[in-house]
Structure 1
Amino acid sequence: MMKVQTGLDVLLGNTTLQNTFKGNVALLCHNASIDSTYTHAAIRFKHMFGDRFVKLFGPQHGFSTDVQDNMIETDHIIHPFFNIPVYSLYSETRIPTDKMLEGIDHLFVDLQDVGCRVYAYIYTLTYVLERCASKPIEVVVLDRPNPINGIDIEGNILDANYESFVGRHPIPFRHGLTIGEVALMHQKFWVKTKANLKVIKMLNWERSMFYEDTQLPWLLPSPNLARIESAYTFPATVLFEGTTLSEGRGTTQSLEVVGHPKIEPFSFCDSVLFKALKASKLQGVALRPITFLPTFQKQGGKVCGGIQIHVTDKSIYKPWRVGQLLMRELYHYLEDDFEWKAPPYEYNYHQKPIDIINGTDKLRHWIENNEALEALDALETLDSYNSLWNAIKIY
């Protein structure tokens, strides 16, 4: 396979394309916005556009990707090196204001997504598109790979009653889109007033690729996804943000492990989990009993028993199902020691965080009622999404 060129790499290699952007330029980016030589997009933009590079924007976790999750906001600053404003789109507002957009002709977006509905960068993008639709601003998405491939889709479609900043649009939990395709789907199906949108496609990316296949360097797109292995387990473990169990934040294996101080990991795996896993016929995954000590966040400073998810065959691994199965078994194993996390969660002060994450309350009821896997399958109705998905694919 040939090495993938991201949208940023394509732009950098095409001076004719660069010269089509005549006005002032802004960039929405983060830590993972690098080219194939590990050079940050903002450095490239400074050299490419000079004084016309006038503003930076940062999503959740900040421009530097150094701030933790869930309503921990970042400030607006003047960047000490670039000497231009850095506006936070995870601050007192998640939506760019008129002042922020003033004086911009082209707003570039270069964000590494992870292919999961609750990863909030795609909603920062769609808010940008909606705000720029009424302004003479071109939104240019520099496309990047979906690290968990662009073929497999999985999970329930978001119920509109559970829309939030981690679920704005009717897509499944594992959506199979690149961030550029999210922008195209948004414009084609979800809004009446269209933005002036351009997607700069990748070269050599194929839908079947996992991130290692791209030959691109992996840099953490959010503070707790330092390893590409974490991106593969994320659609399973992120569900546990809706509980008081630790999903490994504050450890070196964040979002690869799940645990709680009241779990004895070997007995849980031997007497409960392995039997449930065998009955489920889930493949491509090994679940290993472990103990770990979170240094911060949930269960910080307490030794937790739990499991680590090891993906043994990405092509047949189903992370959403693994996460739901694990949640069901832990709920009934821990009994009164299992707790659903209370609001607020991502600026929703009323609904249970687990329902916000799942995009429905039906999955929580499936877990609480200890229902069969056939009932889980019935919640995964993807036909309506498939038609949208097929209509906007650009690879």
Structure 2
Amino acid sequence: MSEVVEKAVKKGISLGASEVEAHYSLARSIEVKIESNEISDVSWKINRSLHIAVIVGKKLGFSRTTDVSSSGIEEAVENAYKLACSSNENVFWKRLPEPRPFPNVKGTFDDSISSLGAEEAVKLTLEMLKEAKADSRISVPGGLLNSTVGETCVANSLGIMGCDRGTEIAMELMALAKEGGEVGSFAIAWDVSRKMDLNPTEIGREAATKAVESLGSKKVESFNGPIILDYDVAAEFFSSFLEALNGDMVWRGKSPLKDKIGQKIAVDSLSIIDDGTIEGGISSSLFDYEGVPRMRTILIEKGFLKNFINNSYTAGILGTETTGNASGFLSVAPSNILVSPGGWSDEELFKDIKRGLLVKRFSGEIRPENGLISGSVKQAFLIENGEVKHPVKECMVSGNLYEFLNRVTRVGSVLKRRGSVITPRIVIENVSVIG
């Protein structure tokens, strides 16, 4: 692995490049698919990709190849060099990052996932399917298991050289409940981990339970009031918000928060951290795409905007330091998002809510460039006088992301990991619900 990126960097310099970066990834995966209540497909794949960036002065050239033979590497580097020479100057370009020590990140590789075979993967998928189908009211339109073992190496001409490996397993099941002539709404249960610790029975049971819970839904009258974002919806909400803190969006002037560093943009009870070093984190690694060490960055502290997330390119434009969030040569993405817990127990979150909604699934649009939120609540439950009464038929919610950040009145004390987001439930006041 390391020799591939080293060869690429040496070749680029020999051609006369000012700077060179090479990023090589190799992944093998097993995927088991469910369609129409049965296993429909089992596949085994290997994906490899070498990405080259060549800089000549301030001119940038890129190429990609899956051929990592000596001739394949040379051809890819030559192509990137030619493109750089024929490109216009990028006036924002500063330089590639220099090497720094990598952190000690634990829990990102599990031999049990690495050694997982197709037979065992099918067995786990069938366990998930069987548990959901134990209820005769349930049908399963789709689902999957995907396990991945990957290795990444990155090098550049300024001395960065690093290799990392990781494992991941994900399981998902979609369930639909039918009783009499009534059909409930689609329900999805899923989980993902870096370790072989997923429970297929629990995932199947959760999907079935959610589907059955949607039976007996009633139309809700339109109102303005509080909604409780369940974990999946809260994760989606905060992921959309993080787009506005992306350095690429900031320097291009597309983020409404571009001039808000140091200002209060949310309630005191909200603190958010980007941390690529969390043990077992879905997006944890030794380094980001360009070989910068992963780190912990406070983004929101008690409602105050502290930092944006950056790679070395966007950091250079904004006059700040990279936060180790490169997801591509010029692109930026969060690592693990940690929303700090509050002091409200699950019971207290519901207490004193005269009329509101518990929202478990949202299908719609959250626009970070202007904050517009508009979409359908697919799986929600009416709350009256602090109690969950019944499921409601599909309804609409609307509002503004940035206004909602200042209308959060309760933050739950229980955290759950939903992919790369670790979040509590939250309560948002004065939301428009259209029945």
- Whether the TM-score (by the shorter chain) exceeds 0.5 is no
Question: TM-score per shorter chain, which class?
Answer: under 0.3
**Hey, which of these two has a bigger chunk of helix by percent?**
1
Q: TM-score, normalised by structure 2?
A: 0.24
Q: TM-score, normalised by structure 1?
A: 0.26
Whose Rg is larger? Answer: 2
